[in-house]
A = this chain, B = another copy of it.
Amino acid sequence: MQGAPLSDLKKNNKQKIRNNDEMSRFLNEPYRRLAPYTPGEQPQDMKYVKLNTNESPYPPSPGVIKALDEAAVERLRLYPDPECTVLREKLAKMYGVKPENIYLSNGSDDILNFAFMALSGGVVRFPNITYGFYPVFADLHRVPYRTIPLRKDFTIDPEDYCHPLDGECLRGAQQDLGGSAVGSDGMRDGMVVIANPNAPTGLTLSEADIRRITEANPDRVVLIDEAYVDFGAISCVPLTKEYENLLVVQTFSKSRSMAGARLGFAIADSELIADLNRIKYSTNPYNINRLTLAAAGAALDENDYYRENCELIQQTREKTAAELKNLGFEVLPSKANFLFAKSDRIGGGELYRQLKARGVLVRHFDNPLIEDYNRITIGSSHQMRIFLEKVGEILQTANEGGGHRNA
Contact = CB atoms under 8 A, between A and B. Distances in A.
Interface of A: 1, 16, 20, 22-29, 31, 34, 36-39, 42, 50, 53, 55-60, 64-65, 68-69, 71-82, 106-107, 109-110, 113, 117-121, 136-137, 139-140, 183, 219-221, 244-245, 253, 257-262, 269-272, 274-275, 277-292, 295
Given A270-B22, A283-B113, A289-B292, A59 B73 contact: yes
Contacts of A117: 28, 31
B37 A275 contact: no
A258 B292 CA distance: 13
B37 A272 contact: no
Closest 4 CB pairs of A and B: A36-B281, A260-B290, A24-B271, A291-B291
A125 to B, nearest CB: 15
Nearest to A191: B26
A68 B26 CA distance: 38
Contacts of A29: 183
A110 to B, nearest CB: 5
Given A31-B118, A109-B286, A77 B260 contact: yes
Contact of A26 (B42, B74, B245): B245
B289 A262 contact: yes
6 contacts: A1-B79, A31-B118, A39-B82, A76-B258, A80-B259, A137-B282
A261 B289 contact: yes
Given A24-B272, A121-B26, A76 B36 contact: no
A283 B79 contact: no
B27 A118 contact: yes
What's the number of copies of this chain in the assembled complex? 2
A79 B260 contact: yes
A287 B262 contact: yes
Contacts of A291: 68, 260-261, 289, 291-292, 295
Contacts of A282: 34, 36-37, 136-137, 139-140
A24 B244 contact: yes
A81 B42 contact: yes
Contact of A275 (B27, B72, B260, B271): B27
A165 B64 CA distance: 54
A259 B23 contact: no
Contacts of A1: 79, 285-286
A291 B120 CA distance: 33
A201 to B, nearest CB: 21
B274 A24 contact: yes
Contacts of A28: 117-121
A269 B287 CA distance: 26
A253 B140 contact: no
Given A26-B119, A261-B289, A65 B72 contact: yes
A121 B80 CA distance: 33
Contacts of A270: 22
Contacts of A38: 281, 285
A187 B114 CA distance: 28
Contacts of A118: 27-28, 31
